Amino acid sequence: MTDTGSLSSVSTEFWERTVRSSQSVKGKMEPVDYVLLGLAILIFSCWSVNWALHIMAIAYGKWKLRHKLKTSVPEELPGVSIIKPLVGVDPNLFENLETFFNLKYPQYEILFCIQDESDAAIMVVQSLIQKYPKIQTKVFIGGRTVGVNPKINNMILGYEAAQYELILISDSGIKMCEDTLEDMAVCLNNKVGMVHQMPYISDRSGFASHVEKVFFGTQHAKMYLCANMLGINCTTGMSCLMKKDVIQEAGGLTAFAEYLAEDYLLAQAFIDRGWQVKISSETAKQNSGHYSISHFHARLIRWTKLRIATIPLVSALEPIFQCMFLGAVASWAVSYLFDWTALVFFLVHVLVWFLLDYILAKVVQGGPLPYSKFEFLVGWILNETCFLYFIFCAHLNPVVEWRGHKYKLRWGGMMEELNSQNNYKSNLKHTLIEISSDKA
Ligand SMILES: CCCCCCCC/C=C\CCCCCCCC(=O)N[C@@H](CO)[C@H](O)/C=C/CCCCCCCCCCCCC
Ligand SMILES: O=c1ccn([C@@H]2O[C@H](COP(=O)(O)OP(=O)(O)O[C@H]3OC[C@@H](O)[C@H](O)[C@H]3O)[C@@H](O)[C@H]2O)c(=O)[nH]1
C-alpha cells in the first residue's frame, strides 16, 4: 500500500471508531451528536496546532534571536532619527536614556518629545545633553494635536523635524545596548521596510519584574515569534525602526492619530505597500523603573481592549490558545472522542505546556534566567490563570486609561478622549528648547 493509501485508511479508521464510539455512548446519532463530534474534532485540531506553534516558536526563537546579521561597512548604514516620547520620570529614566547617547552607530540624532512643559523629564534630558554635547539632539515640548492618540500628538514635532531617512520610535522605558541600533538597521533592505524588537524585560529585581519576564518570555513570545515567522502582522511599537518615506507615503504619523493601536496599523501600512516587517535579533529591553503586578495587569488589559477593538477576529481566537482554556476544552474533546480520562489528560497537557514554556523562556533570555525555577512556576501559574480574566475585563469595559487620560475605544480601533476638557490640547506649546552641537 502507498503512503497516501495507508494515511487514508488510518483516517477512515479514526472516523469509524469515532462515530462508533459516539453511537455506542449515545445510541443512534442525532444532529446534536454531529455538532458535538464536529466541535470535538475542531478543538482537538486546535490543540494539535498549538503544539506545532510551541515547537515553531522555540525553533524560530533559537534561530532568529541568536542569529545576528552583520555588516562589513557599518559606516555606510543610513542615518537614524530616534524619537523618544516622554511623559514623566521614573527611577530608571536617566539610565535608560543614557544608553541612547552611547550607541555605536555612525550617524543619528535623538529627538526628545516631552508632553508637558512642567514635566521633570525635561531636567533629566537637559542633564544628559550637557553630559554628551557631541550627540545631536533636539527637544520638543507640548507636541501638536493632530488626532486623539497622545503618543502621536507628542511625537509629531520630532517626526516632522527628523532629518534622516530612518525613524526609530523608541518608548521611554527602553534600554539599548551599544550595538542595538546597528542590529536593527542591518535588517532593513529593499524588501524589509520596518524592523521591530520583540518586547521583553531587562533584568530587574523583584517578583513583579519576574512575572513580566515570564509573560514576555512565554505566552507573548510564542505568539510573537510564530506570527513573525509566518509573516502575520503582530507589531508592538515600543522599539520600531522604519523608512521615513514609506510612512510619508502612508500619510505621515498623522494618518494613525485617531487609533490607539497606531503601532500595529503603522506596520500594516508597510505590509499593504508591499514591504516586509521583521523582528531583529535583539529583544526590546523594557526597563521602566515603575513596575508592579497591578500596573502590569492594567497594561495587559489595555492591550487586550485595544486588540478587541482593532482586530476582533483575532481577539475572538485568543482564549483558544490559552493553556488553561485549551486544556479544559481539549480534555472534554478527548474524553468525547477517545474516552480518555479528562483530568489526567488536563494535567499532562498543563505539565507539557509548562515544560515547553520553560524552554522558550530560556531561549528568549539567551542566558541563565535571573529567577529561580520556583519563581518561574509561580509567575507562570499567575500569568496563565489571569489571562482569561483579562479578556473578560477587557470585554466588560471599552474605556482605556493611559497615562492619566481616559479614552473610549470604538470598533476598528478608533478612539475618543473622554476627559477632553483636561487634555493637553489646551496647554500646547510648540517649543524647541535646544539644539546641541553636531556629533563630531
Ligand atoms: C489559525 C489562526 C489562528 C490565529 C490565532 C490567533 C491567536 C492570537 C493569540 C494571541 C495574540 C497574541 C498577541 C500578541 C501580542 C500583542 C501585544 C499587543 O497587544 N500590542 C499592542 C500594543 O502595543 C499592539 O497595538 C497590537 C498589536 C496587534 C497584535 C496582533 C496580533 C496578531 C497575532 C496573531 C498571532 C498568530 C500566531 C500564529 C497562528 C497560526
Ligand atoms: O499620553 C501619552 C502616553 C504615552 N506616551 C508615550 O508612549 C510610549 C508608550 O507608553 P506606555 O509605556 O505607557 O505604554 P505601552 O508600553 O503600553 O505602549 C504600547 O502600547 C500602546 C501603543 O500605542 C504603543 O505604541 C506601545 O508602545 C512612552 O514612551 C510614553 O512616554 C506619550 O507620549 N503620551
pLDDT tens, position by position, 303-327: 999 999 999 998 889 988 999 999 9
Q: Which residues have any ligand 1 atom within 6 Å of their CB? A: 220, 223-224, 226-227, 230, 232, 234, 236-237, 261, 263-264, 303, 306-307, 311, 314, 317-318, 321
Other C-beta atoms lying within 10 Å of the C-beta of residue 435: 13
131 or 422, higher pLDDT: 131
Q: Which of 69-78, 200-209, 427-436 has the highest mean pLDDT?
A: 200-209
Measured in angstroms, how far is the CA atom of residue 149 from the centroid of ligand 2? 10
pLDDT for the residue 18? 56
pLDDT for the residue 434? 45
Atom of ligand 2 nearest to the CA of 404: 1
Hey, what's the torsion of the CAs at 171, 412, 159, 93, to 10 degrees? -10
Measured in angstroms, how far is the CA atom of residue 387 from the centroid of ligand 1? 14
Name every residue whose Cβ is closer than 8 Å to that of residue 174 and which is 6 or more positions away in sequence.
Answer: 96, 238, 239, 284, 285, 286, 287
pLDDT for the residue 31? 87
How does residue 430 score in pLDDT terms, banded at 50, 70 and 90? Answer: very low
Residue nearest to atom 24 of ligand 1 (CA): 236
Rounded Cα distance, 294 and 208, in Å = 9
359 pLDDT above the threshold of 60: yes
364 pLDDT above the threshold of 60: yes
pLDDT for the residue 431? 47
For 296-306, b where at least 16 C-beta lie within 10 A, e where not — what string? bbbebbbbbbb
Atom of ligand 1 nearest to the CA of 238: 23
For range 224-238, the mean pLDDT: 97
pLDDT for the residue 48? 97
Task: Specify the DSSP class assigned to residue 159.
Answer: H
pLDDT for the residue 428? 43
pLDDT for the residue 24? 52
What share of the chain in percent tops pLDDT 90?
81
Q: What domains does the chain contain, in order, with CATH numbers?
A: 71-197+238-291+418-435 (3.90.550.10)
Q: How far is CA 282 from CA 63, 200, 202, 268, 419, in A?
A: 12, 10, 12, 22, 38
> Do 227 and 392 meet the contact criterion of CB atoms below 8 Å apart?
no
194 pLDDT above the threshold of 60: yes
pLDDT for the residue 19? 55
Q: Which three cell numbers stand for residue 132?
A: 554628551
Rounded Cα distance, 400 and 137, in Å = 33
Q: Catalytic site residue 263?
A: yes
Return the minimum-mean-pLDDT range out of 68-72, 116-120, 249-253, 397-401.
Answer: 68-72
Other C-beta atoms lying within 10 Å of the C-beta of residue 427: 11
- Counting ligand 1 atoms within 8 A of each CB, the residue from 46, 314, 325, 407 with the most, and so the one to mutate, is 314
pLDDT tens sequence across 146-182: 999 999 999 999 999 999 999 999 999 999 999 999 9
- Counting ligand 2 atoms within 8 A of each CB, the residue from 311, 403, 407, 415 with the most, and so the one to mutate, is 403
- Counting ligand 1 atoms within 8 A of each CB, the residue from 48, 279, 307, 403 with the most, and so the one to mutate, is 307
How does residue 20 score in pLDDT terms, banded at 50, 70 and 90? Answer: low
Rounded Cα distance, 398 and 406, in Å = 10
Q: How far is CA 154 from CA 237, 254, 280, 408, in A?
A: 15, 11, 26, 19
pTM: 0.91
Compute the Cα dihedral for 236, 241, 246, 252 and give only its sign: positive
ipTM of the complex: 0.95
Measured in angstroms, how far is the CA atom of residue 434 from the centroid of ligand 2? 24
Atom of ligand 2 nearest to the CA of 402: 3
Cite the DSSP H helix spans in 27-173.
31-64, 93-101, 121-131, 150-161
Give the closest residue to 112 by CA, choosing from 133, 85, 92.
85
Extended strands (E) in 128-204: 136-141, 166-170, 174-175, 192-196, 199-201
Q: At what angle do helices 323-338 and 3-26 cross, to 10 degrees?
A: 80
Q: Which helix (H) or strand (E) holds 434?
A: strand 431-435
For 148-170, b where at least 16 C-beta lie within 10 A, e where not — what string? bbbbbbbbbbbbebbebebbbbb
Other C-beta atoms lying within 10 Å of the C-beta of residue 17: 12
Q: Which of 263, 272, 357, 438 is catalytic?
A: 263
For range 114-137, the mean pLDDT: 97
Measured in angstroms, how far is the CA atom of residue 18 from the centroid of ligand 2? 51
Q: Which three cell numbers stand for residue 316?
A: 475572538
Give the closest residue to 149 by CA, choosing from 438, 389, 360, 415.
415
